[in-house]
Chain A
Amino acid sequence: MKTGKLFIGIGLFLFVLIIPLIVPDPYYNRILNVAFIYAISVYGFNIISGLTGQLNFAHAGFVGIGAYTSAILTSTFTLPVGWAMLIAVLVTGFFGLIIGFPALRTRGVYFSLTTLGFGVILFMIFENWIDLTGGPMGFTGIPPVYISGIDIDFGTKSAFYYICLFFLGIAIYINRELFHSKLGRAMLAVHGNEDLAQSVGISIVKTKLIAFVMATMLLGLSGSLFAHYFHFISPTSFTITETFSCLTMLVVGGMGTLAGPLIGSVIFTILPEVLRGLAELQLIIYGIILMLCIIFMPEGIVGYIKKKREKA
């Protein structure tokens, strides 16, 4: 049984590796790249909500911090992209710390609203601090990713695929190891029953904060990739609507699961393409899917499959 799973895993892995070679059409590449970039952020979302049960509505704001930091460092200060990305991740995590510390004193809906507030404030900073961020006009001319010294231009779409894949792999690995670790279990405990968790020595504040910082670091990574992929960012990419999209991806895919965020991201990146003909109805269909999902499959696609398997 275990070896069977291992073979499937390796097979999938190899398949995923060679996709750009079998399907050279940049159109499909682009879809996957975008899906992966979103997926990374959704894995971040997963840590915060799937494991600790809180919904971070400043999601897009943090992605924005990562994006703008990376953009500013590479354009204005001409730092090499690799360093910029690393710093962007740390900076976003830092903001996660200072915003998380006050925000996490609230819980449930209040936490959602507090983070919503922070998200709005971040958005306004992106829009209005024109000297730093370029305001509503956006930030242009962001350099593509290239590894200095090796002089390979990863700017082409299929090459970028491997970069996204690499970081996606990291995001998935972190999520996976979390499930079976002391920290991950502590997060589940905090989610499940705070009093009981405290009574066995788990510090609620510390656990939530660590989860928050970890999540925001992944968000920063996603933002940074976003910036270098599209070479242009503007505040409209980091609005509440974007947070809603990622939330939908997480919910439909399955909160708290390992495959959920990826599946959700892929579905909702492919869906707009498939529905291109029905442009106006697109969002309405999203909304309906979300509502139906909550009513019939609140644990998401992956969660639902898991549940069915357990019953069997």
Chain B
Amino acid sequence: MSFGIMNITNFAHGTIYMLGGYAMYLFSMVLHLPFFVSVALAMMVVGLMGIVFERIVFRPIYDGPEVNSLLISLGLLIVLENAALLLWGSETLNVAAPYNSIQFSILSVSMNLQRVIILISSMFLIGMLYIFLNFTRFGKAIVATAQNPKGASLVGIDIPKIYMSTFAISAGLAAAGGALLSPLFYVYPTMGSMPLLIAFVVVVVGGMGNVQGAVVGGFLIGIVESLGGAYISSDYKNAFAFIILIGVLLIRPQGLFGRSTR
């Protein structure tokens, strides 16, 4: 959302994911709220923080060269990650996985309900995003702004509000990722680094500004990473995502589904 639609490179995205994880910890472990409630609250709280970030950090640099958003989000990343380190320490925190104990198997592949829930929740959120962007008035306004900000403002779309909301959605979704995955991967200040890199790879491979592309890209990379890690070499597991990224960018610099910008 922030990369493809708002056209800002937000390196702090991973740290927002991390904030989601910590929020999840707060709601589910400290306040003992139920799992899904915690996830929803985490999304909302971090979404609000996203609005703050958008106004303070990103708004001043919209007019400048694109590289500025990259640099300033880098600054934000450094600040957030180290603030987290400072405030919450570097030990990993555990978030309970209430559905972990339920196992079942389909077609001789055994599965864990917790992971299935993650899968279904993600698909649910993605589906909602797709519907929102394509079928609601506000969602279409966002897409319109992405394609042509000047034109959009001419027809009365409130650009600052759009950007604020888009970023809030971006943050909320990142938080969802952090929250949903926290039972599996624990919570710690730098937990956002890898997801950030992978997120970029996904968006680029899938093509910018394109939800379907991002989904396909995400699945593609997830699968290749797992299979590659299992069958070829687990040390270089994370490298596979990048190899795909490089491969795709070389053959089709606009991503698998992206529009040609030349």
Contact = CB atoms under 8 A, between A and B. Distances in A.
B242 A117 contact: yes
A141 interface: no
A251 B64 CA distance: 14
A250 B250 CA distance: 28
A287 B70 contact: no
Interface string A273-298: 00000001101101111110011001
Interface string A93-117: 0000000001101111110111011
Contacts of A203: none
A284 B78 CA distance: 6
Nearest to B74: A244
A220 interface: no
B78 A109 contact: no
A284 B246 contact: no
A284 B79 contact: yes
A124 B239 CA distance: 8
B238 interface: yes
Contacts of B201: 113, 117
B156 interface: no
B236 interface: yes
Given A113-B201, A120-B238, A286 B78 contact: yes
B227 interface: no
Given A120-B238, A121-B242, A124-B236, A251 B76 contact: no
A290 B77 CA distance: 11
A105 B250 contact: yes
A89 interface: no
A270 B75 CA distance: 19
A288 B78 CA distance: 8
B253 A110 contact: yes
Given A128-B235, A287-B76, A114 B86 contact: no
Interface in B54-112: 57, 60-61, 64-68, 70-72, 74-83, 85-86
Given A121-B239, A124-B236, A247-B71, A106 B249 contact: yes
8 contacts: A108-B66, A117-B242, A120-B238, A127-B235, A283-B78, A284-B79, A287-B80, A298-B61
B167 interface: no
A110 B249 contact: yes
Determine which residue in A105, A107, A110, A247 has the highest number of CB atoms from chain B within 10 A of its CB, and name it: A110
A68 interface: no
A55 interface: yes
Nearest to A130: B235
A118 interface: yes
Contacts of B72: 290-291, 294-295
